[in-house]
Copies of this chain bind each other. A is one copy, B any other.
């Protein structure tokens, strides 16, 4: 892969798209320029191109993204066989245990939900396929980080901002590395209200036939209902059944 084969225009356009967030759903040319680092003239051309292609709307002053952009993401979700494969297993698991379960994959220092079977509202934020949470403070994130080479996991932790989400959130990279080691050894990870007060969860890796961790499975329970010590005993067996079934499906 040579420098000469990189298309700057494409990179800049994607960068421009990513500057649109919940905080800034509507941006002017200058705002996109500022938040992306692109020259104003370049940002303008990117945005006009996106508008021309139907990925953005333009009222003469502000740009907003259109649902068409979702096609890009769905193109990606659709290419993943995992969601369709695990959804039925997840539905059954969730039914059986009476708790919400989810499957996510790792993208950098974030976990991305790809399937979910919700039972009750325990979390204040609503999670859906495509939703993201930091890996370091989630049970699924920890089992997936634990599957990486130590140096790589450490690098991700050092690079990402480790935000204190609740008073229980562990934010020292060292402490998290220790948790990863524990998760690696035990084959599962436990979280006690580190993402959100009132939420405890247990996660286990989903591996393919070659033994590579490709995703994580979790069960989330209200802290008022279960102690952390009980999670493994109560939920792990059923989770292991799903692990085994999925491994068999991933030839």
- Chain A binding surface, main DSSP class: helix
Stretch at the interface among A4-12, A145-153, A184-192, A237-245: A4-12
State whether B126 touches A67 (Cβ < 8 A). Answer: no
A114's nearest neighbour on chain B, judged by CB, is B67
A125's nearest neighbour on chain B, judged by CB, is B84
Cα-based distance from A20 to B26 in the complex (angstroms): 29
Number of this chain's copies in the assembly equals 2
Q: Assess whether A81 is interfacial by the CB under 8 Å rule.
A: yes
State whether B65 touches A79 (Cβ < 8 A). Answer: yes
State whether A79 touches B21 (Cβ < 8 A). Answer: yes
| Distance (whole angstroms) from the CB of A122 to the closest CB of chain B | 13
**Scoring A residues 49 to 73 as 1 if CB is less than 8 Å from chain B, else 0, what string do you get?**
1111111000000001111111111
State whether B17 touches A53 (Cβ < 8 A). Answer: no
The 7 closest A-B pairs by CB, nearest first: A73-B73, A9-B9, A10-B13, A25-B79, A69-B76, A67-B107, A22-B78
Q: Assess whether A131 is interfacial by the CB under 8 Å rule.
A: yes
State whether B7 touches A70 (Cβ < 8 A). Answer: no
Q: Assess whether A48 is interfacial by the CB under 8 Å rule.
A: yes
Cα-based distance from A177 to B33 in the complex (angstroms): 44
Q: Assess whether A129 is interfacial by the CB under 8 Å rule.
A: yes
Cα-based distance from A128 to B13 in the complex (angstroms): 27
| Distance (whole angstroms) from the CB of A182 to the closest CB of chain B | 26
Cα-based distance from A93 to B44 in the complex (angstroms): 43
A129: chain B residues within 8 A (beta carbon): 128-130
Contact residue among B13, B20, B83 (Cβ-Cβ distance under 8 Å from A14):
B13
**Scoring A residues 65 to 101 as 1 if CB is less than 8 Å from chain B, else 0, what string do you get?**
1111111111111111101100100010000000000
Cα-based distance from A202 to B140 in the complex (angstroms): 38
Cα-based distance from A159 to B129 in the complex (angstroms): 30
Q: Assess whether A18 is interfacial by the CB under 8 Å rule.
A: yes
Cα-based distance from A131 to B70 in the complex (angstroms): 9
Cα-based distance from A65 to B79 in the complex (angstroms): 8
Q: Assess whether A175 is interfacial by the CB under 8 Å rule.
A: no
Report A23-50 residues with CB < 8 Å from chain B CB: 24-26, 44-46, 48-50
Q: Assess whether A105 is interfacial by the CB under 8 Å rule.
A: yes
